[in-house]
Structure 1
């Protein structure tokens, strides 16, 4: 039996009907529906999308943080951090992108959806680790990719490319030690070949 994907307009209409005034914005781009909800409605909207007829997004297949601080080369004026989830309805063969902006740039916080989709567990820990986004209600929110003593959040746009500290093995102490970064920042200018007959070309 062949199952055909539902047309994005049908998905959009079903999501709008299910969420009602919880929708801040909804759009279709490249045949994918994206719905934006407020931080205060995020958890409730996720619950609705999981079970509402016409939605039935049983699976969360991805969740990530986004830092908009350098979006549009700094011309963007709005909340800095977002959480974007990709949802899948197996029963209806449709997908949805659910987006929420954290209202406080200094302490980005949104509700955890781990109690709705347990696949959110590690994704939320990753967004916490790399962006510093706090997921309220997550029962094990700790770093997952960086080292135990790591300071800062490396996917934030203002985090230096070299980091703040480096780790190396010290043979005298017979252990790993941390120290300030010793890499010197330098600008690399590409070599430009100007010879008239370079490589036998005329």
Structure 2
């Protein structure tokens, strides 16, 4: 039996009802539903989306961090860091994006959802590594893409383009060593500014 995808506006109504007062905002754009909740309600909302019969999001497809400072070349307004989940219901053939903004820009902490979806494990490690978001309750939160001695979080907007240090193999010491960056900053790809309706229908 074929299960047809739920209309995103119908899904919005169902999820708004399932989450109730936990919903801070919800909107359909480009055929996709995005639901925003407060950080304090993040875990509870995720659990409801997994377990509620109108939701049944059995799979967590993706989890990532977003740094909203200088987002779209605009000055930051509101909280800086956001955790974004993409959830999939195979049984009901529907998808949703769940967002929660971290309340502390200086020490971003969110609850881990590894207990809800085991697939969150490496995704949370990645968001920790690249954005510095700490997932409380994660049982093995350590860097996953950068070296253990890496300094900083490279997907933050204020991270230096060339990094803070570089590493090389020292033949005399017979080990990898860290040293200050020696590469001179240079721009090898010109910035391209397109017209506002570039690629659209001609007038």
With structure 1 as the length reference, what TM-score do the two structures score? 0.90
Shift of the alpha carbon at 1:119? 0.5
Structure 2 match to 1:85 = 85
Give RMSD over aligned pairs: 1.3
Matches within 5 A, 1:29-178: 29-178=29-178
Q: Distance in 2 between matches of 1:186 and 1:89?
A: 46
Shift of the alpha carbon at 1:188? 5.4
For the pair 1:23 / 2:30, whether they are aligned, the reply is no
Q: Distance in 2 between matches of 1:132 and 1:21?
A: 29
Deviates more, 1:61-70 or 1:177-186: 177-186
Matches within 5 A, 1:190-201: none
Shift of the alpha carbon at 1:148? 1.4
Return 5+ residue gaps in structure 2 as ranges: 191-203
The number of residues matched between the two structures is 190
1:166-190 deviations in Å (ceiling 9; x for gaps): 1111122222111110111235596
Structure 1 segments (4+ residues) deviating >3 Å: 186-190
Deviates more, 1:163-172 or 1:18-27: 163-172
Q: Distance in 2 between matches of 1:187 and 1:139?
A: 41
With structure 2 as the length reference, what TM-score do the two structures score? 0.90
Q: Distance in 1 between matches of 2:72 and 2:175?
A: 45
Q: Distance in 2 between matches of 1:189 and 1:110?
A: 37
Structure 1 match to 2:182 = 182
In our comparison, the structure showing a higher alpha carbon Rg is 1
Change (3 A) 1:22 1:164: same
Q: Distance in 2 between matches of 1:75 and 1:172?
A: 48
